[in-house]
């Protein structure tokens, strides 16, 4: 791959490269959404093309599905797959217990469904996504369009009793129009600054009429693969209580990574 990437893109690439090694021949693989997950799809595509890896991918968005097909990965639906061997995805934040905030790309509902239908979830991230306490990144909630302003008011009232530092709620926009998810829903972003009890908040907000799902992934992630701009990679396994390290070198070449601008 080109060696003139920015440090953050190098970190994303080496994390994706390392995470792709968890995938074995014959696996059914959940494919995440977002810039880091796009690197993963490219890495798997390279293995499909160069090594003859045979896998079936279950994408978490239409964008990921299109990219997977482009790089030669066979795509199937979750209904066809029923259950997955592994899901690999990015995260907007992760804490020391590998709890996550996801949904910055607007695909949190499909991402959570796919992740929980997998034997294992591996998260790929750069070191900047590590936090002591979740909440610095706005927490996305997927809500149905019908009565969304009422839903927003109910969320704001509910947050008064929660252990959070901020309570601003905003409708995610796509230019001048509201953003729509692949399921035809809106996203409300909760600017909380700090979430004192993520488990409680996740349970409470999901009880609000109109809320489909939230972007807190609690007790779902098994391994986080953390990339660094110098090629170093850390693998933290929450189940085994292990931390391992690896390194990937950057070489100047012209291959399928050259057009990745996500």
State both tokens at 95.
Answer: 């804490």
φ and ψ at residue 189, rounded to 5 degrees:
-100, 125
3-state secondary structure of 21: coil
Which residues fall in the annotated binding site for substrate?
A: 33-36, 89-92, 102-105, 129
Question: What is the H or E stretch that residue 173 is in?
Answer: strand 173-174
Please, is 15 exposed, middle or buried when counting C-beta atoms within 10 Å of its C-beta (0-12, 13-18, 19+)?
buried
Find, among 170, 166, 169, 218, the residue nearest to 194 by Cα: 166
CB count within 10 Å of CB 7 equals: 12
- Given the residues 46, 74, 93, 111, select the one marked as catalytic: 111
Contact between 123 and 33 under an 8 Å Cβ cutoff? The reply is no
Question: What is the β-pairing status of strands 139-143 and 211-214?
Answer: antiparallel
Residues 141, 190 contacting (CB under 8 angstroms): yes
Query: Which residue shows structure tokens 């991918």?
Result: 57
Burial (CB count <10 Å: 0-12, 13-18, 19+), residue 193: middle
111 in catalytic set = yes
Binding positions are 33-36, 89-92, 102-105, 129
- Measured distance CA(140)–CA(105) in Å, rounded: 10
* CA–CA gap between residue 223 and residue 19 (Å, rounded): 9
Q: Which residues are catalytic?
A: 111
């Amino acid at each position: 791959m080109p060696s003139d990437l920015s440090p953050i893109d190098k970190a994303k690439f080496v994390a994706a490269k390392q995470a792709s090694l968890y995938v074995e021949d014959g696996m059914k693989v959940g494919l995440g959404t977002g810039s880091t997950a796009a690197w993963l799809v490219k890495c798997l595509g390279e293995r499909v093309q160069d090594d003859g890896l045979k896998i079936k991918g279950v994408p978490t968005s239409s964008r990921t599905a299109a990219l997977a097909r482009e790089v030669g990965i066979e795509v199937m639906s979750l209904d066809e797959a029923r259950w997955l061997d592994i899901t690999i995805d990015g995260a907007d934040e992760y804490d020391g217990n590998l709890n996550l905030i996801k949904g910055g790309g607007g695909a949190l509902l499909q991402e959570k469904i796919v992740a929980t239908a997998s034997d294992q979830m591996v998260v790929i991230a750069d070191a900047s996504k590590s936090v002591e306490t979740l909440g610095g990144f706005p927490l996305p909630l997927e809500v149905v369009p019908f009565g969304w302003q009422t839903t927003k008011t109910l969320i704001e009232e509910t947050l008064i009793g929660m252990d959070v530092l901020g309570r601003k709620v905003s409708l995610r926009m796509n230019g001048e129009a509201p953003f729509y998810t692949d399921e035809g829903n809106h996203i409300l972003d909760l600017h909380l600054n700090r979430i004192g009890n993520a488990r409680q908040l996740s349970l409470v907000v999901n009880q609000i009429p109109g809320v489909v799902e939230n972007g807190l992934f609690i007790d779902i992630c098994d391994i986080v693969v953390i990339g660094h701009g110098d090629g170093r990679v850390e693998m933290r396994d929450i189940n085994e209580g292990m931390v391992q390290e690896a390194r990937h070198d950057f070489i100047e070449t012209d291959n399928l990574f050259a057009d990745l601008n996500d």
